Chains A and B, each alone.
Chain A
Amino acid sequence: MLFNTIEFFLFFIVVYLLYRGAPWRWQNRLLLVASYLFYGFWDWRFLSLILISTMVDYVCGLGIGRSQSDGERRFYLIVSVCCNLSILGFFKYFNFFVDSFVGLLGGVGFSVHPVTLHIILPLGISFYTFQTMSYTIDIYYRRITPTRCLADFALFVAFFPQLVAGPIEKAHNLLPQIQAPRRIDEEDITAGTFLIGWGLFQKVFIADNLAHIVDPVFAAAGPVNGAHVLIAVYAFAFQILCDFGGYSNIARGVARLMGFHITVNFRTPYFATDPRDFWRRWHISLSTWLRDYLYIPLGGNRKGTAATYRNLFITMLFGGLWHGANWTFVLWGVYHGIILMMHRFVQYFHHARKNAGERGRQILVTVIKIGMMFHVVCFGWLLFRSQSIGQVYDMGRAMLFNFHMTRDVVSPAMTVLFLTGILLVVHLGQYVRKDVMVVLKWPVSVRVLLYVTCFYLTIVFGETGGHEFIYFTF
């Protein structure tokens, strides 16, 4: 059941009406049943994986909380982490590692014919696995106490608005909201409605239409014009932002209507001025998860310069691998690891004085930095979107040696501008005011114009087929 379908709309209307009429404890039970139905709508068989993760982490959480000795606490943590990573590893990475290993052996002259398993990737497995792992790790580090209510914990794992594509919620944020009665006020209704509408606009109008520019270029069999590749990479940058950002906004909006405040996942990421700034704005729930549960436990920046670089690299490598079982994602993670390391290296020698110079110059410098960072990120998207390392090479080559500004480049370029124009205006407003809900503070006339324009762009030009979200495959 996709957020951008009538099925979900009807499902949510029914759930919401029942939810508003039920007392708090029943609200939680209702949401748990609704969440399982929501997930089971795709493939009920994979509900068993969610139930296994839920049970393992519930028991391990209680075990860690009850244990007095560090050894016993560590034992329960290892059981939890191993179970979760085993499930994730098997379903997501088994074939990838087997194929890579076979390829490696083939490279040195050994011919191996392994058993091939046709493993289906369960929807959202990377998201809920990381979410439920955060629970036991937080208990281990004594950030939270374990919950005794299995139903509440099960709802934390399976909460339907963010179950299949995040944001990845940490237990200390979502669980307390489940365990206490929610209050839904006028602000929640207005903000929730806006987020759902804005998310649908991003997904249905922008992302799905940009796919028509991106997909043919990356599916082309023969040589392509580098100018088309460049346009496709720009288009993909906004497609993935609006696809994933749109999903996150709808998830936040749906949750907000029910009184839940879940993590803001994107804060105008293409207005980042450096790599570190980018990761504070892009897929925030994943980057903070990696920071809190990988980078810091590895030592963070506390164990010297070399260890810091190593930790950055390892964290981003895993971040890349989290996205999917393909060497292009690994390469993408490595790329971001390297640019973070380079940025840190440059920062070490060059401490820019803040607020230096006149305002006009500051703005100019910021604009230049944003432009440069956007292109650095776009190169990363080329790695991310390509289907193989070979395609990365071909695309890069096309941009360098087969670049022709022909007439047929103008049309897709104008389409990208048309599709992203309103988004850029809204993001600029959000960036300048440092407020992701800035639209709700704009004058009434501007908001009316925005709502009506977005509505008709979505209705008339939107892709109504209920296209899947890109991050569902991660």
Chain B
Amino acid sequence: MNSSTSHSKRFPTAFVAAVIIVVILEVVVFSGIYLLGDVSNVCIVHKEEFIEEPGDYDVAVFGASRALAIDARSLEGLDDRYMTVYNCSLPHMGTSLEFALTLRKYLENKEKPDVIMLSIPPEMFGIADKEGIFAGDPQGEMGRFRRFFSCVDFLRFVPFREKWRLITDYVYTLLPSANHAFFIRRILPLDKIPEWRRRVRWAYIQYGKNRTALEHMIQTNGQVIYHADAVVSEEAFDTGLPAEKDDRISVDNISRVHNVSRFMEIACEENIPVLFFFMPVIAERYKVLEKCGFMDAVEAKLRAWEKEYPNVRYCRFYDIAYDKQYFGDWSHLNAAGVERFNAEIRRNFPRLMDAVHHVSQPSSRRS
């Protein structure tokens, strides 16, 4: 077999043409592939785009996936002092560190909000902060993280010792096709080729749902409703909610939520009042948390924060224990729950704003 004949005259043409086609496909096709994923990913990408744009909102809502239920648009105009509200909550964000980084990114791109509303589930106080970034499930956390934070963000936010690993592991994800390959692989898994036709049809339907969800998010300033009429199943109820004691959360960890403290610190440094409140919890779970003294310990922690950070106010303005009929799964509200909860916020919004409006705003943290 000959391997050394002259053959290269046409190669650059083909190579250059291939590069041009790849660039076009990356921009036109692969940058939108996230719309084939689940609604959480659509939310992450949309909010990344939102946060990177310049803008000015009077109130910014931060929180985990449960806080996506807040309809920010419906709060606008309820108080004359606060006419614009946006819900920056993010789903799938694995560690509380990500709240702090999200706030930092928000403040770099947008005007300082007059008030921040922060809502994280009580359980998050019971899970020990991971020491390093991506310390728990590096692949999973990084996957979520890189869809929200850019490569430049990584290099700025991530500790020095982690930088090289990030560069070597994830530089290829600068390509939209590589970054979103996860979604394609989920629709077209190599080990289920006979199902591809059916899965492509499902992806088409999912695409339609995601477009609707995206439009809803734009109309409501960031709201996502995970479940329409669904009510949490008994099976999910059993696995997600241990009846007596949940070993995954511990009172001992409450003093170790350093990354929520970082969020408070950033807000404090910027003189932004923070209104902290809990999202609703299934009544059965609430009983477990209360019975073991967890809720009391968390509330004590929040009161301590109020003293430490003068711009922080913890408000318990409604009964957070909701009946399970308001939940689509063991943590997220369904449409009925979203409606009930938003009604509670709307009813209390002026009062809540009063609470933080009168917060003194010193330039530094109390010792």
- Interface residues of chain A, those whose CB is within 8 Å of chain B, are 5-7, 10, 186-187, 189-191, 193-194, 209, 212-213, 261, 264, 267, 410-412, 414-415, 418-419, 430, 434-437, 440-441, 444, 447-448, 451-452, 455-456, 459-461, 464
Cα A180 to Cα B5 in complex, Å, equals 22
Residues of B within 8 A of A191 (CB): 7-8
Do A461 and B190 touch (CB < 8 A)? yes
Known: A267-B1, A461-B185. A194 touches B177 (CB 8 A): no
Min distance, Cβ B264 to any Cβ of chain A, angstroms: 37
The 4 closest A-B pairs by CB, nearest first: A447-B14, A190-B8, A451-B18, A190-B11
Compute how far the CA of A460 lies from the CA of B11 in the bound complex, rounded to whole angstroms: 24
Closest residue to A441 on the B side, CB-wise?
B7
Q: Residue on B with the closest CB to A267?
A: B1
Q: Which of B35-43, B127-135, B165-173, B320-328 contacts A (4 or more CB under 8 A)?
A: B165-173
Is B11 a contact of A455 with CB atoms below 8 Å?
no
- List B contacts of A186 (CB < 8 A): 8
Q: Is the CB of A414 within 8 A of B193?
A: yes
Residues of B contacting A452 in the complex (Cβ-Cβ under 8 angstroms): 18, 21-22, 25
Contact: B193 with A418, CB < 8 Å?
A: yes
> Which B residues between 1 and 17 are near A, CB-CB below 8 angstroms?
1-8, 10-15, 17
A201: min CB distance to chain B, Å:
13
Known contacts A455-B22, A464-B172; decide if A187 and B6 are in contact (CB<8 Å). yes
| Contact between A444 and B13, CB atoms less than 8 A apart | yes
Nearest neighbor of B6 in chain A, beta-carbon distance:
A187
Contact partner of B11 (CB less than 8 A), chosen from A194, A212, A430, A434, is A194
> By the criterion CB–CB under 8 Å, are A5 and B168 in contact?
yes
A212 to B189, CA, bound (A): 12
Contacting residue for A261 out of B4, B5, B171, CB 8 A: B4
**CB neighbors of A among B186-202 (8 A):** 190-194
Q: Does B236 contact A (CB under 8 A)?
A: no
A448 and B177 in contact, given A6-B167, A415-B190, A415-B193 (Cβ under 8 angstroms): no
A440 closest partner in B (C-beta): B7
**9 new A-B pairs (CB below 8 Å) besides A267-B1, A436-B3, A444-B14?**
A7-B168, A190-B11, A191-B8, A193-B15, A209-B190, A411-B194, A435-B3, A444-B10, A460-B181
- Chain B residues within 8 Å of A212, by CB: 190-191
Q: Is B359 an interface residue (CB 8 A)?
A: no
Query: Inside 8 A of B11's CB, which chain A residues have their CB?
Result: 190, 194, 440, 447
Chain A contacts for B241, CB-based, 8 A: none
Nearest residue (CB) in B for A434 is: B1
Q: What residues of chain A lie closer than 8 Å to B185, measured between beta carbons?
A: 460-461
**How far apart are the CA atoms of A189 and B11 in the complex, in Å?**
10
**Cβ of B2 and Cβ of A435 under 8 Å apart?**
yes
A interface SS class: helix
Q: Are B175 and A187 in contact (CB under 8 A)?
A: no
* Chain A neighbourhood of B194, CB < 8 A: 410-411, 414
In the bound complex, what is the Cα–Cα distance between A7 and B190 (angstroms)? 27
Question: Which chain A positions have C-beta within 8 A of B177?
Answer: 456, 459-460
B residues apposed to A, CB below 8 Å: 1-8, 10-15, 17-18, 21-22, 25, 167-169, 171-172, 175, 177-178, 181, 184-185, 190-194
Chain A residue nearest to B9 in the complex (CB):
A186
The 18 listed contacts between A and B (C-beta, < 8 Å) are A6-B169, A6-B172, A7-B168, A187-B6, A190-B11, A193-B15, A212-B190, A411-B194, A412-B191, A415-B190, A440-B8, A444-B13, A447-B10, A451-B14, A452-B18, A459-B172, A459-B178, A460-B185
What residue in chain A is nearest B168 (Cβ atoms)?
A: A6
CB A442 to nearest CB in B, in angstroms, measures: 8
Question: Smallest CB-CB separation from A435: which chain B residue?
Answer: B2
Contact partners of B22 in chain A: CB under 8 A: 452, 455-456
A415 and B7 form a contact (CB under 8 A) = no
Which of B6, B11, B25 has its CB near the most chain A CB atoms (within 10 A)?
B11
The complex places the Cα of A444 from the Cα of B172 at a distance, in Å, of 27
| Inter-chain contacts of B18 with A (CB < 8 A) | 447-448, 451-452, 455
> Are the C-beta atoms of B1 and A435 separated by less than 8 Å?
yes
How far is B18's CA from A460's CA once the two chains are assembled, in angstroms? Answer: 17
Measured between beta carbons, the chain B residues less than 8 angstroms from A193 are 15
- Given A193-B15, A437-B5, A451-B15, check contact A411 B21 (CB 8 Å): no
Docked CA distance A419–B167 (Å):
29
A-chain residues with CB within 8 Å of residue B10 when the two chains form the complex: 440, 444, 447
User: Within 8 Å CB of B178, what residues of A?
Assistant: 459-460, 464
Chain B positions within 8 Å of A213 at CB level:
191
Q: A451 to B2, alpha carbons, bound, how many Å?
A: 22
Bound together, the chains give a CA A189 to CA B18 distance in angstroms of: 17
Contact, CB under 8 Å: B14 / A435: no
With A452-B21, A452-B22, A459-B178 as contacts: A418 and B190 at CB distance below 8 Å: yes
Which residues of A are found within 8 Å of B172, using beta-carbon distances? 6, 459, 464
Known contacts A414-B194, A459-B177, A190 near B5 by CB under 8 Å = no
Point out which of B7, B15, B168, B177 has the most chain A C-beta atoms below 10 A from its C-beta: B7
Given contacts A190-B11, A440-B7, contact A448 B21 (CB under 8 A): yes
Contact A448-B14, Cβ < 8 Å, known A434-B2, A436-B3? yes
Query: Please, which residues of chain A bring their CB within 8 A of the CB of B4?
Result: 261
- The interface residues of chain B lying within 8 Å CB-to-CB of A435 are 1-3, 5
Q: Kindly provide the distance from the CB of B23 to the nearest chain A CB, expressed in whole angstroms.
A: 11
**Distance in Å from the Cβ of B291 to the closest Cβ of chain A?**
44
- B5 proximity list for chain A (CB < 8 A): 435, 437
In the assembled complex, the Cα of A461 lies from the Cα of B177 at a distance in Å of 10
CA A366 to CA B175, docked complex, whole Å = 45
The residues of A that contact B25 with a CB separation of less than 8 Å are: 452, 456
Chain B residues with Cβ under 8 A from A267's Cβ? 1
Cα–Cα, bound, A187→B8 (Å): 5
CA distance A91 to B4 in the complex (A): 38
Cβ-defined contact, A459 with B14, below 8 A: no
The reply to whether A430 and B190 form a contact with Cβ atoms under 8 Å apart is no
For the complex, what is the distance from the CA of A398 to the CA of B63, rounded to whole Å? 56
Pairwise interchain contact A459-B192, C-beta atoms closer than 8 A:
no
CA distance A419 to B190 in the complex (A): 9
Give the residues in chain B near A456, CB-CB below 8 Å.
22, 25, 177
B169 to A, closest residue via Cβ: A6
Chain A residues with CB under 8 Å of B13's CB are 444
> Within 8 Å CB of B190, what residues of A?
209, 212, 415, 418-419, 461
Q: In the complex, what distance in Å separates the CA atom of A194 from the CA atom of B8?
A: 10
Q: Return chain A residues, CB-CB under 8 Å to B193.
A: 411, 414-415, 418
Question: Which residues from chain A contact B12 at a C-beta distance below 8 Å?
Answer: 190
